[in-house]
Every structure is written in C-alpha cells, then in structure tokens.
Structure 1
Amino acid sequence: QPEKTAAPAAAPEAQPPTTTTTTVPVPEPATSEPEPQPEQKVEEQTIAETSTAPAAAPAPTVPPEEPEEEPKEEPKEESEEEKKEEEKPAQPEYLAKNPALSQFFDRLPTILSSTGYSEMWGVALKDSSDIPTVNVLIKFLRANEGNVKLAEEQLTKALQWRKEMNPVALADGRYSAERFGGLGYVTKYPEASGKEVIVTWNIYGSVKSVDATFGDVDEFIKWRVALMELAIKDLKLSEATAVIDYDGEDPYQMLQVHDYLNVSFLRLNPTIKAATKKTIEVFSTAYPELLREKFFVNVPAIMGWMFAAMKVFLSKNTTRKFHPISNGANLAREFPSLKDKFPKTYGGNGPTLQEESFTVNLDKVEPTPEPAAETPAAPAATESQPAAEAPKEEATVEEPVKADTAVTAEE
C-alpha cells in the first residue's frame, strides 16, 4: 500500500487508472485527499506568508507617510501666517534697518498719551509713515546713542517742558530791549548747492547789566528759547521729505556762535553761573541734535568752568561739536565757502550782524520811560552803582582760580 499510495501522490492528476478498480478508489482518494491537503496548507501558508509579507511591507510605509504629511501641513500653516504678515503694510526700510527706531515708534503712542502733548519743533508727531516725525525721533535716539529707554525718557521730558513753556508762543513774544537788545541774532547764508546755513549768534559782550539780563533766570530762558525757536523755523523740519540717515549727515542742523569779546563779568558770578547751568539743562533736554557745530569765540581762559559744566549735562557726541576759538577773526576760516557771507569782524567779507540778521521782537517802549522818569535821581544812583559793582568785579578777579578748581572738583 505504501507503494500504491506513493504512485498516485506523484501523479494525482491521472484519474483514469482509478476507474479500473472499484474497491481501491475509495480508500485511495481518502489517502490521496489528505496528501494534497498539506500541499494546500503549504500553498496556503505560502500564500499567507506572501499575503502577510506585502501586508507587513506597507505597514511600515504607512506610519512614515502620516508624519511626513503632518510636518508638511505645519509649514503650510507657517507660510500662511507669513503671508498674512506680508499682507500687512510693509515696514519702511528705515525701520527695518534700525530695530531701535522701530521700538521707539512702538512706544510713541504711550509717550504722547502720558504727556498729553504732540508738538515738537513745529512738527505734529504722528506715526512711522510721517517723515517729519521720523526725523524727530531719530534725533532723540541719536542723542542717546541708540538707547531706546533713554530716548523715551528724554522725549517725554521735552514734550512735558514744551507743554508747560509753549515755546512756539515765546517765539512770537516781545522782550525788553534794555535786557536783551543786541545779544542775539539769526542769519541765513545760502551755499552754492542752494542749501541755507542757519546760524544763531549770542553776543554776550553786549550785555549792559548782568543783573538785568541774567538776574531773572526764567525771563532769560524765555528769551533764549525764543531765539532758538526762530532758528528752528528756518530748518523747516515740518516740511521734510527725506528721512535722515541715522549714521550719516543730518541736514536739519544749525551752527551756533557764542561771542565773549570784551566780557569781563563772566568770573564765576553766581547770577551768570545759575543762568548758564539752567540754559544748558533746558537745551540739552529740549533741543537734541539740532546743532551741527558750536563755536565759542574770543573765549577768555577763565571760561573753562563753563566747558566743564557742559560736559556734565551733554553727551560726548554733542561736546565733540564744541570748538573754542580765542580769536573771533579766525571763525570764517572754518567755513571757506561762506567767507564772503560772514561778518568782517569774524574774518569774512559780509555785512554786520545788525544789517544781515533778524531777531526776536524787542519792546523799546517799556524800558525807556522808566529810566527817563528816574533821570533826576538816577545819575547819582547809576553812577554809584557801577562804582560799587566795579570793586566787586575786581574782587572776584582775584578769586577765579580758587573758585574754578572748586567747581571742577564738584563736577
């Protein structure tokens, strides 16, 4: 039987021989059927293996596809956000290049709200799209060497000061000719390029009375501010059409000249010292980056204390613009292109300041009647006053060095 069973196993497809025997085919198919079953099982296993194998193959491919799709969706979301940002108004180039300026503008609404005032040098402060506003903020930022916090503090103080003082109105005010006549001028000199150079002049040698001019510090500051505001008007900051190059030249600046020719009263007189320090404090806070250069001409050696005081209140960038000149006739050498415009007393070929300049409104009516009414008794009084003041000045002449060293030591 094993041989018979082996024969049909080798050829299961030959069915005719099984028809010849009637008794044997019954067990034979029984034996033949279980034998192909293992083959079927093998085939089924192979099929199952083949079926499981491809099933296992896609299984690892499915998980990586899902995480690959998820990160693809995330960048799509980010790109959509970026698109939204791009849809917003594009940031101006001067803000993109200067993050500090951008941060300063972010703080501007809070500054304007806290001060309740928005005017600076004739410019109504608005937003970063307004070029005059941009230039104002650049000046405050440059004055503080890019420190946004310090620039914000200074702008806040300057706005508060302007709100209280109303310098725009001071520029149109009237002042005593007896106190301030001949002390301040503003000139405009055209250059070959067509640009105008604005110069403010302070002629302290024309002071008639120390007490009258400097005694009332508040009144002196008002007059000094009025003169400055007149010069600022000619800078035309509110009409600016180009943004100042933060690291380049600032076209919205003026020159300033202080002339101390024949000045004998600046010997650490307490009145002069108080007025000078107050002026420096106000101008360093309220008028940053408006001076291109400042010249102190005909300066006596005793004036060293004033330069020491300036270094305390002003930044290094500002003090670098200061130039003491012992001989005022050499001033025009600093500006060869303007030599024909500068007054002759300062080494130029132009007319005098009185002929070429303009100044604040001076009221000559009020001061004149007062001395006229006191003319009978005034001669003796006025003659005795200078005589009394003269020895005081002589007495102070002997103490300048001691006082100067004390001041510099304190500062």
Structure 2
Amino acid sequence: MPSFKDTYDVVIVGAGIGGLTCGAFLAKNKKSVLVLEQNGRPGGYCSSFEHRGYVFDTGLLYLTGCELGGSVYQALDSLGLRESVDFMRIRPATRLIGTGYDFRISSSEELEDKLTQAFPLETLAIRQFMSECRAVADETGRLLNRKPADLANVWQKMAWPILSLVRYRRAMVYGRKSWRQVVDGFFSDPKLRAIVLSLFPLYDPGVMARLPMMELGSREDRYYPRRGAQALADALADGMQRYGGHLALNSAVDRLLVEGRRVVGVKLKDGTQIRARHVVSNADARQTFLRLLGEQYISSRFIARLNGGTLSPSAFVVSLGVSLNLKAMGFDAATIVYNPSDDPDRLFGTDPANCRLGITIHSILEPSQAPDSTSAVQIVALFPYDAVQDWKAEEEAIADRLVASAEKVIPRLSNHILCRHINSPASLEESTSNTHGAVLGWYPAPRTRT
C-alpha cells in the first residue's frame, strides 16, 4: 500500500502518456506531483503486456515526431530523457495487401509512385491529391506550432479569423469534409478509392479528412521504441520520479473531492483521501465529469453534450505467439494493412471475414518480444462497442474468423499458434477505463463550424 503526503501541488488521475508527460514537466518545474494509476503498469494504450513468454503492445502501432525537431524528440529532450528511449525507424513503414496488389510504402512519394503505376489512368488525380495532402500536412504543422490562444495578445486574437483563412486554408477546408467525401471527389476507380480509404488502421471513411491527409502528406518517418511501447511510458515515469514526482500504481480513483465550487483532491476506491491545489484528469471526458466529478456539479446542457457526443470505434485485438520465424520467411513490414475486399462498406463493416485488418509483427523490429525462431503477431480490427451484445460470449468465435482472414497474408497461421490472447472492446474498456474502449476518444468527425 503506497503512502501519500497530506497534500500535493498537483494530483493527476491516470498514467497514460498524457498524464505521465504532464507529471514529468510539472515535477521538473518543482511542483509536488502525484500520478494515480488503476493498473499495475503505467502507459494506458501506450503500454505492453507479457503473455506466455511473448510481449505485446496494448495499442501502439507506431510513433512519428521522434526525429530531431519532432514533437516527441522535443518533449523528451526538454525533460532530459532523450537518451532514455531508443527509437527504431520503420522500413518499410507499411505493407498494403489486397486483391491484385501488394505495396511496401515508406514515404508519401513512394506511395504516389506505387499508385500511379497501378492506376495510370488516375495519374493526374493521384498527383493532385498527394499535393493537397502535403499542403495540409504543412499547414497543420504550422497550426499546431502557433502560439496558444491564451498567450496571444488582443491584436493577435482579433486577427486570427482572417489570418487563418490565408495561412491555414486547406487545413480548415478539409477539417469540414469527411475522408470518404475527399477520396470520392478525387478518384473514380473503385479499387483505388478503397485502397486510399484503408491506408490507416485507426481511421474509417467518416473521419475528418484533415487527419489522414496530414499523415499521408507528412515528411516524418515512423518509429517504434526499442523494448516496445512500455519503454516510452517507463521513461516518462522514471523521469518524473527522478524530478521528485510520485507514481502510485494499483491506485484507482473513486471520485473527485469538491468543496464549494472547487475540486480540492481525490478519493481512492479504498477510501483514502488526498488533497491537492490542482487536479488534472487524464481520463476521458465522460469518466471525468459524469463519474469522477458527478452530474450534480455540472449543467444539464453540458451533460447532454457529453452523452450526445460520438465516441470513436474500439478495437478487437488478437495477440498470437506463433511458431513461425516470419522475418526469416521474408516478412519485412511490422505493420500490414490487409483488405479482403474492394468494397468500402464491407471493409469498414463488422463482419470479421470481410473487414479490413491491421496486422502488426513488432517482433521483426524487437526480437526480444518473442522466443527464438518464433514471432509475436497482433491482428487488429475496428469495431463499434455496440456491434456485439455480449463480447465475452462471442470473442473466441470472432477471433477464429479474424485469424482465418489473416491467413490470406500469413499462410497456415492457425496451425502454428502457440498462445492466444484476446482484447475485445469490453475488455479494453475494463482495463483502460476509456468509455466503450474508444481508441481515439471522441470520434474525429468533420467540423460543422469553426
């Protein structure tokens, strides 16, 4: 049982990457910090777990911003932790497989070349589309790096609406369109449309187009941390504690303590009360306001907005230890996107036999994740939380069908399974406390207003 001080400058609820980063910066700036985490390890979706000698990641596919000047690089460098994590550049970044195509892609230029070779009649549209994606990436990068509104002077705030139309025009335009609207507007070939729509495992056709366009046009490489996702979470946790912060694992928060109109601390599920000058919640908005704070402290209008907001889909993840040395067999991509169909409605539907799959083989990059001559494989499919009434009852059958589909990419996969671990949307919700196991929080739909 951890011991706590009577009061802290800041208590942070949740040791996901956001909570750990916040805690590390505050601790470095001489604040007394306590981070509370319900699980036995920090990281949230950016964590790893061990199963029968194999190591799997809970949610991380890859990272960007790890090179000199990138956002991850700058954050770790500012905390004095740049040498604490060794990032491996992923080559090829993605392998895209479907009926009649098998692309290995490491850059937007390489993707453009592969698509124009496969669809010569769409060459002009492909080049225009990729040019727009690069412009969106550049504009969004400038937008994210601009001075925060709270630090702007009155003249900068007044000029923002006009300047944004000039400096960030494409970012604004594509922020109001869906991914499918944009792709359908550029291309006429159904197969090409399906390929482009499926490029990113965590995005579906309804998301705000700016997000996948930004990734497609990005000049940043993709990276994976040596020793897996847990290495990044552990580095931030260790750095925070080195600066004097505290991390309490297996310490679930029951509710926030309120006096008058101010949050003054937290109460743990074991009854322990901890006071703080400030409380930061790294939980999602519904968990924070409806469960931890309580509806009695917020307006009915805000409650309606929280309950009416659309969450992103969850994921169904099958983690396999297999008696196949996939790297020796010629598998060189740690992330594979497999499209069983050219029909977007089937690719992004809920039939395990026909939906798009993300297949990760991180043991290609990090051999310590699997015993010698074997591999660690994860099969990922996006599913709405309400796609199945009882996930526990159906999870084995769903996993079987996803494995059968993945065998189109990894032949005889089912004959070589040494161990299997399943994470359904329900189990992800339970282990992370993300409402409905949402993988991206709120669904990043097109904005209907600025």
Calculate the TM-score normalised by the size of structure 1. 0.24
Q: Higher relative contact order at CA 8 Å, sep ≥6: structure 1 or structure 2?
A: 2
Larger radius of gyration: 1
Calculate the TM-score normalised by the size of structure 2. 0.22
Identify, as 1 or 2, the structure richer in strand. 2
